[in-house]
Chains A and B, each alone.
Chain A
Amino acid sequence: MISVKNIYKSFGKLSVLNGISCDIKDGERVAIIGPSGSGKSTLLRCLNLLEVPTRGEIWVNGSLLSGLDPYLHPELIRLSATYKKRIAAGGSDKTVISEITDGRLLGRFEGGEYRREYRRLAEQNAIDINLARRKMGMVFQHFNLFNNKTVIENLTLVPVQLGLKTRAEAEARALELLRRIGLEDKRDEYPSKLSGGQKQRVAIIRALAMDPDVLLFDEPTSALDPEMVGEVLDLMKSLAGDGMTMVIVTHEMGFAREVADRIIFVDGGKIAEEGRPDEVFGSPKNARLREFLSKVL
C-alpha cells in the first residue's frame, strides 16, 4: 500500500503539486487523469521518489520513503521550542498546533528533545530507496529501454546484478515473460529493432521481471502510433486481471473507465475530484473535470 500525505512539489518558483493526499491499496487500479501540465507525471514520479517532494510524505507498506515532514506529526511539534513557547504564553494545544502547521513556524533550532525525536522517527521508519524501488515497477512514456542492451539483457540485467536472481533464474523468467507477450524471437535484438508497441511491452515486462508489488505507468501509450496502442493496453488489462496493483497516468479514457477501480482527476497540482469511474465519468461534479471530459471524450 502506498500512502501519499499532503505532498507539495515545486521546481524553483513553479509549484507543480499543491497538497496531494491519497492512498493506493494493494490490488487497486488507480487511473490519474487531468489536463497536460497539471502535475500528473510529477505526482507519479513522487511515488517512487524519482522526484523528491518539497513537503509531505510518501509511505510504502508502512515505511517512510520520503523525508519526514514534521508538520504531519503533532506529537513531534509538541516537543518543539516554538510550541513550548506559545503554550507558555497561554495558547491552547489545538490552536498552537494549527498556528505552527499553517504558518510553518518551525525553525532550524527547536531544541534537543525535538531533534532527537525527529531523528528517531525518521530512522525508525526510513527505508532504503533503492530497496523500495525494486518492488515498484515504472513504465515510462518513452519506454526507456536500455539502448546498449539486448531485449533479454534488458530483462535480466538488474535482477542479476542486484543478486536477486541467478542468471539462469532471471533468463527463465525473462523467457516466460517474453512468451507471454509473444516476443521470444526478439530476445537477442537491440531495442532499436523493435516497434514502439513492442518496446513498450518489453518495458512493461522488464518491470515485471523484478516481481514488483505495484506498477506505475506514465502515459504508456502516448508516444505510440495509434495502431500499436491496443497491444499495450491489452497487456495492461491482462496484468489488471492478474490482480496487479497499478497506478496509471493516462489519456485513454475508455481504458481508464474499463480497468480502473478509482479515477483521480488532477488539476493545478491538486486532486480536484476522485471516485469510481462511473461517478467520475457519469456524473462529474467539478466544473474543470466536466470541461476536461468534454474535450477528451
Chain B
Amino acid sequence: MLFEDIKKILTTPELIGYVFEGFLNTLVLTVVAAAIGLVLGFVVAIVKISAENNKYMKIPAIICNLYTTVFRGTPVALQLFIMVFAVFAIPGFKPYAAIITFGINSGAYVSENIRAGISSVDVGQMEAARALGFTWNRAMINIIMPQAIKNIIPAIGNEMIALLKETSIISMVGATVGTLTFDLNAASNTVFTKVPNFLASGLIVGCFYLAIVYIMVFAIKLIEKRLRASDKR
C-alpha cells in the first residue's frame, strides 16, 4: 500500500511535478533568505563589536541589540504572520514578505554567531596588535577575523540548515501553486490531497529535505577542513 502510493506519486508527472516545484522554491527561499541573513548578520555583528571601541556606534548598537533580542525572542511563525498580514500586506507581495522575514530572522542568529566567534578570540590578540601600532580595523582584518572564522563557519552552517527547515512554515500563511510560497512542505500537502497517504508524500518530501541538508553538511565539513588545513595549530 505505502510502496504503491510512493510509486504512484513518483510516476505521476503532475504529482512529482509538485514535488519538484516545491523543491526548487524551497531552495530559492533558503538561498535568498540566507543571503539577506548573512549580509544583515555581518553588518549587525560589526556594529555591535565596534561599539566596544567607537562611541559613534553606541546608538546603532542599541538598535542592533533590540533587533536581535526581538527576532530571537519571538517565534518565527509569529514574525511571519505579522510581516505578511500587517507590515507588508500588499497583494502579490506575500512570497517576498516571507523571504524578508526569514532573512531578517536568520540575520539575528547569524549576527550572534559572528559576535560569539569574534569574542571567542583571546583579547590578548587584539591587544598585541594594537600595542604594535595596528589600528582596530587592521587588527580585526589581519588577526582577529582569520581566527574567529573557524568558529563562525560551523555555527553559520548550522544556522543555514535550521533556516532551510524553517522555510517550511511558509504554508502557514497560505501556499499557492505557481508562486514562491509553494515550497516542499506545501507540495507534500498538495500531493496528499491527490494520494491520501501522508506517509508516502511525507517520505518523499523528507528525502528531498534530507538530500539538501546532507549536501550542506558536506559543504560545511569541507570548508572546516580547509580552514583547519591552513591552521597548523
A and B: partners?
yes
Residues of A whose CB lies within 8 Å of any CB of B are 48, 50, 130-131, 133-134, 136-138, 140, 142-149, 157-158, 161-162, 190-193, 203, 206-207, 210
Q: What are the residues of chain A within 8 A of B124 when measuring CB–CB?
A: 140, 142-144
| B125/A147 in contact, CB under 8 A | yes
| A148/B130 in contact, CB under 8 A | no
Q: What are the residues of chain B within 8 A of A136 when measuring CB–CB?
A: 131
**B3 CB to nearest A CB, Å:** 54
**A249 CB to nearest B CB, Å:** 14
| A146/B130 in contact, CB under 8 A | no
Q: What are the residues of chain B within 8 A of A50 when measuring CB–CB?
A: 127, 130-131
Instruction: Sample 26 A-B pairs with CB under 8 A, ordered by A number.
Output: A130-B134, A130-B135, A131-B133, A137-B131, A137-B132, A138-B132, A140-B124, A140-B127, A142-B124, A144-B125, A146-B125, A146-B129, A146-B143, A147-B122, A147-B125, A148-B146, A148-B147, A148-B231, A158-B132, A158-B133, A161-B138, A190-B232, A190-B233, A193-B232, A203-B128, A210-B133
Q: What are the residues of chain A within 8 A of B11 when measuring CB–CB?
A: none
Given contacts A144-B125, A147-B147, contact A161 B130 (CB under 8 A): no
| B133/A138 in contact, CB under 8 A | no
Q: What are the residues of chain A within 8 A of B147 when measuring CB–CB?
A: 147-148
| A206/B132 in contact, CB under 8 A | yes
| Partner pick for B142 among A130, A157, A206, CB 8 A cutoff | A157
Q: Please, how many angstroms separate the alpha-carbon atoms of A147 and B131 in the complex?
A: 16
Q: Which of B84-135 touch A at CB < 8 Å?
A: 122, 124-125, 127-135
Q: Please, how many angstroms separate the alpha-carbon atoms of A142 and B128 in the complex?
A: 10
Q: Please, how many angstroms separate the alpha-carbon atoms of A50 and B130 in the complex?
A: 8
Residues of B whose CB lies within 8 Å of any CB of A are 122, 124-125, 127-135, 138, 142-143, 146-147, 231-233
| B143/A148 in contact, CB under 8 A | yes
| A134/B132 in contact, CB under 8 A | yes
**A46 CB to nearest B CB, Å:** 13
**A116 CB to nearest B CB, Å:** 23
Q: What are the residues of chain B within 8 A of A145 when measuring CB–CB?
A: 128
| B131/A138 in contact, CB under 8 A | yes
Q: Please, how many angstroms separate the alpha-carbon atoms of A162 and B143 in the complex?
A: 14
| A161/B134 in contact, CB under 8 A | yes
A192 closest partner in B (C-beta): B233
B138 closest partner in A (C-beta): A161
Q: Please, how many angstroms separate the alpha-carbon atoms of A144 and B147 in the complex?
A: 13
| A130/B133 in contact, CB under 8 A | yes
| Partner pick for B134 among A138, A140, A158, A203, CB 8 A cutoff | A158
Q: What are the residues of chain B within 8 A of A207 when measuring CB–CB?
A: 132
Q: Please, how many angstroms separate the alpha-carbon atoms of A134 and B135 in the complex?
A: 11
| A133/B142 in contact, CB under 8 A | no
Q: Other than the known A147-B147, A158-B132, what 10 A-B pairs have Cβ atoms closer than 8 Å? A: A50-B130, A137-B131, A142-B124, A146-B125, A146-B128, A162-B133, A190-B231, A193-B232, A206-B132, A210-B132
